[in-house]
Amino acid sequence: MSATPAVQFIVEGGRTLSGSIRPSGNKNAALPIVAAALCTEHPVTLENVPRIRDLETLVELVRSLGVSIDWTARNTLQIHAKTVTPAGIDRELSKKIRGSILLAGPLLGRCGRVTLPPPGGDVIGRRRLDTHFLALEQLGARYDLTDVIEMEAPKGLRGADVFLDEPSVTGTENAMMAAVLASGTTVLRNAASEPHVQDLAHFLVAIGGKIEGIGTNQLTIHGGATLGPATHRIGPDHIEVGSFIGLAAVTRSELRVERAGVEHLRSTLMGFARLGIECRTEGEDLIIPASQSRLVQADLGGHVPTISDQPWPAFPADVMSIAIVTATQCEGMVMMHEKMFESRMFFVDKLIGMGARIVLCDPHRAIVSGPSRLRGTTLESPDIRAGMAMLLAALCAEGTSVINNVGQIERGYERIDERLNALGARIERVGDRRTS
C-alpha cells in the first residue's frame, strides 16, 4: 500500500489581492483556555476557537483524560470536565504540540498529580520549561524528570509570592491556572502579559477566579474561589493580523482586516511603519492601503535601523518571520534581530534562494537589503510562522512555487488557502484531504 502523499501548496505568484478578511481566534489563547476548562467541574462553552491542527490535537489529549469535549459548531467547543483522570496522556499526541505542557497546572490543581510525556512543537531553538517547574514548585508541587514528567502536590497547592525567572508565556499561564486552584493568595512577578495571557486571565475570571493586574507584569491571584460554568469568546489572533499586514505589503494590495483587535497592535504597527508600511483604523477594522512608500525608515543620522522582538508589549517574536519577508520588498537596509529563539532565522536561506538579498550574521541577526525580485521555487515549511512567511514570499514572487510540509502552516492558520484565495490569490492544495 502506498503512503498517503504529503500536502503541498502550489502557489501562483504576482497576483494583486483585494477584499476583507477576518482573523481567526488567537491560537495561543485557545490552547491554554481549553486546558483551563479543566479547572472547573462545570460546563464551559468556548466560541471563536480556531479549527487548526494544534487545537484538534489538544482536544484529543483532553478527551483522553475522560473529559467530555466536543465541537458543537465549526468554531465552538463544549467542554465538561466533571471528572478528570490524570494518567494515560498519549505520548504521540503530546509530541505534536508544545501546548500539552499547559495541562500540568490544571491537573495538579484538580487531581494533585499528573504524568506528562515531553511536549513537542516547533523546532525553533531551545524552549526551556524550567520556569514552569520552578513556579509550580513554589506553589507546592514536586516533580521528577525521566522519560516522562511526573508531578504531584501531596499537600495540595498553596499560594505563594512567585518571581518567574523569565516572562515565559506558557510558564505564566501554567502558574496562573495552578494559582486559581490553590489555597490562599499568589503574586506572580515578572509575568508575561501578551494578549493571549490576558485572554486566559479573563476566562479564569469568567468561571469565578479572582485575578488582579491583568495586562501587567504582576498578577495577584486569590485562590480557592468556587469555580462555575461560563461561555467565553476567544479574541482575534494579533499574529495573524500581522501576517495579513505583511501579505498586503508584499503583494501591493489593499486589504481590510475586520475586527482586528486594534488595541493590541501598537508595537506591530510601529514595526511595519519602520519598513514604510502604514495602516489606518476604522472602528474595529484595520485597513492596509495598496499605496505605500515601502521605504525603510533610517535611524537618526542615516544609520541602519533595527527591528527586534522582545516580550510584550514590544514587537512580537511570532511576527518576525513575516517582517523579514516584507523587508525584502522594501527599499533600504534593515537589521532584523530575533532575540528569543536561536533557530528561527534559518529559513532565510530559502528566501536567498528565491533572490532575496539577506546576510545572516548569526542565529539571531539578519541584514535585509531591498527591494528584491523573488522567483518562484520549491520550499519547505519548517515551522508555523516561517511557513506562513514563505507563503507570503511565494505570493509575491515571479512564477510558481511549491510549498511542502504544509501541515506546519495548518497547525496555526485555519484554512489559509481558502481564505487567501477568496482575496484573489491562487493557491492549490494538493495531497490528502482536510481533517477539519
What's the pLDDT tens digit per position in 110-156? 999 888 877 654 443 345 678 888 999 999 999 888 778 888 998 89
- From residue 316, how far is each of 176, 278, 311, 344 by CA, in Å? 22, 18, 7, 13
Asked if 122 is an active-site residue, the reply is yes
What is the arithmetic mean of pLDDT over 213-230?
A: 97
What is the arithmetic mean of pLDDT over 86-115?
A: 82
Between 98 and 46, where is the model more confident?
46
Indicate the burial class of 407 (C-beta count within 10 angstroms; 0-12, 13-18, 19 or more).
Answer: middle
Give the per-residue pLDDT at 94. Answer: 76
CA distance 244 to 247: 5
Give the per-residue pLDDT at 5. Answer: 53
- Asked whether residue 159 carries a pLDDT value surpassing 60, the answer given is yes
CA distance 45 to 172: 23
pLDDT band with cut points at 50, 70 and 90 for residue 93: confident
Backbone φ and ψ of 341, nearest 5°: -135, 125
Sign, CA dihedral 49-54-58-61, equals positive
Closest CA to 403 of 366, 431, 422, 423: 431
CA distance 136 to 158: 10
Backbone φ and ψ of 375, nearest 5°: -115, 145
pLDDT band with cut points at 50, 70 and 90 for residue 25: very high
What is the arithmetic mean of pLDDT over 6-30?
A: 96
What is the arithmetic mean of pLDDT over 338-367?
A: 91
What is the arithmetic mean of pLDDT over 260-266?
A: 97
Rg, the chain, Cα only: 22
Give the per-residue pLDDT at 210. Answer: 98
CA distance 235 to 260: 9
Tell me the three cell numbers of residue 110.
484538580
Sign, CA dihedral 22-24-28-32, equals positive
| % of the chain with per-residue pLDDT over 70 | 95
Give the per-residue pLDDT at 2. Answer: 40
Give the per-residue pLDDT at 121. Answer: 45
Contact present, 323 and 276 (Cβ < 8 Å) = no
What is the arithmetic mean of pLDDT over 254-264?
A: 97
CA angle 359, 361, 362 (to 5 degrees): 135
pLDDT band with cut points at 50, 70 and 90 for residue 4: very low
pLDDT digits (tens, 9 = 90+) for 406-428: 988 998 899 999 999 999 999 99
As a dihedral over the C-alpha atoms of residue 77, residue 81, residue 86, residue 90, rounded to 10 degrees, the angle is -20
Give the per-residue pLDDT at 301. Answer: 93
Closest CA to 171 of 195, 157, 187, 191: 191
CA distance 16 to 338: 30
Give the per-residue pLDDT at 433. Answer: 58
Closest CA to 281 of 260, 303, 301, 300: 260
Give the per-residue pLDDT at 88. Answer: 65
Q: CB neighbours of 57 closer than 8 A, spacing ≥ 6?
A: 93, 96, 97
CA distance 289 to 277: 9
Residue that the C-alpha cell 504524568 belongs to? 115
Residue that the C-alpha cell 468556587 belongs to? 226
Task: Check residue 343 and report its DSSP letter.
Answer: T
Round the average pLDDT of the chain to a whole number and report it. 92
What is the arithmetic mean of pLDDT over 152-178?
A: 94
Q: Of the residues 54, 70, 90, 122, which is catalytic? A: 122
Task: Check residue 115 and report its DSSP letter.
Answer: E
CA distance 254 to 248: 6
Q: CB neighbours of 343 closer than 8 A, spacing ≥ 6?
A: 123, 124, 125, 363
Tell me the three cell numbers of residue 108.
495538579
- 357-362 sheet: strands from edge to edge: 306-308, 332-337, 365-370, 357-362
- Asked whether residue 321 carries a pLDDT value surpassing 60, the answer given is yes
Burial 153-162 (b: 16+ CB within 10 A, else e): beeebbbbeb
- pTM, two decimals, is 0.92
pLDDT band with cut points at 50, 70 and 90 for residue 370: very high
- Asked whether residue 403 carries a pLDDT value surpassing 60, the answer given is yes
